[in-house]
Amino acid sequence: MSGTSPHSPLRAWWAQRPPAAGAAVMATGIVSVGLHLTGYEVLSRIALVLGCIAWLGLAADFAVRLLREPARWVAEAGTPGALTAVAATTVLGTRFSALGRQQLAEALLALSALLWPGLIVLVVGHWKRRMPGAVFLGCVATQGLAVLGATLAAAEATAWLAHTALVLFWLGLVLYGFALARFDLRQVTEGLGDHWVAGGAMAISALAGSKLIAADSARLYLWNSDDYGVLRTVTVALLVLDLAWYAVLLVAEILRPRPAYDVRRWATVFPMGMTAAATLSVAAALDVSWLEIPGEVLLWIAVAAWLAVAAGAVLKAQAAVRSTAPR
């Protein structure tokens, strides 16, 4: 019987995994990107390997649920957490592009672009008033496509990809506005982790803006002086707003500590890492060297948060496996 299988407790624990668990891949992937930007290549590749292992596990589970439990799959596909599948895939694709693995990055872009339309329609169709921070994942997933598209456009000198990324960039900002109108501001002091995505969505938007700026070259000539001026202004504004959100959310955590582990804490690590990556990327794209130091400080804060949440996840998993083990 399955109850006697030594693997059944692990399977039982895995079956309880919510769609939002994809934030763990997002968090690990963006930490890898940040470590790469600051020259810590060995640590970056270790994080990338961990992110890929988690992504493969979640992708397999995604496919199995679609085939074996379609009703449950459809129900979960309508939740904001489902969009972590798109965002996580684009983050890993961006890191692979930096490694020079453009074909793999292109495949991940194609996969995420295939998933995005259906999921975004399902998720936005289920939006309501007073939602948690996961409501901003619509913006995050869309900007993730913009980031990867702009990154590949720069790597392969492909103008149409950059222009498509620009459209997604503006669409992501529109989705942010709609999400903000539905965000329950009480989550800032009461949320269990995903409230940080309110700032993380701003961070990935700033990262997308910096990648669009960096994609331009004499070979492509993507933006004229007016386009460049608008992109520069909007990108800087997004980074400032992101840092403001970061400060507000950090102060709220200090005033109202929530130390207990929750899977949604991965959605805290991701915005922290994304803020660091956005700061470093804007510094490079706009040649603002003084931003590199705060960017690296923010990165190590994100690494510390990743370690703390990873430790909590391991302890939680061990407890869950023991609780489902046959007696």
Give 1's pLDDT tier (boundaries 50, 70, 90): very low
Give 71's pLDDT tier (boundaries 50, 70, 90): confident
pLDDT average, residue stretch 214-224: 86
87-141: pLDDT as tens digits:
999 999 999 999 999 999 999 999 999 999 999 999 999 899 999 999 999 999 9
How many angstroms separate the first and last alpha carbons of the chain? 14
Give 321's pLDDT tier (boundaries 50, 70, 90): low
Nearest to 210 by CA among 275, 271, 273: 275
pLDDT at residue 4 in the model: 40
More confident: 234 or 217 = 234
Q: Which fold has domain 18-318?
A: Glycosyltransferase (1.50.10)
pLDDT at residue 327 in the model: 59
Q: What pTM did the predictor assign?
A: 0.92
19-56: pLDDT as tens digits:
567 899 999 999 999 999 999 999 999 999 999 999 99
% of residues, the chain, pLDDT over 90: 74
Query: Residue 234 burial (CB < 10 Å; 0-12/13-18/19+)?
Result: middle
Extents of the domains making up the chain: 18-318
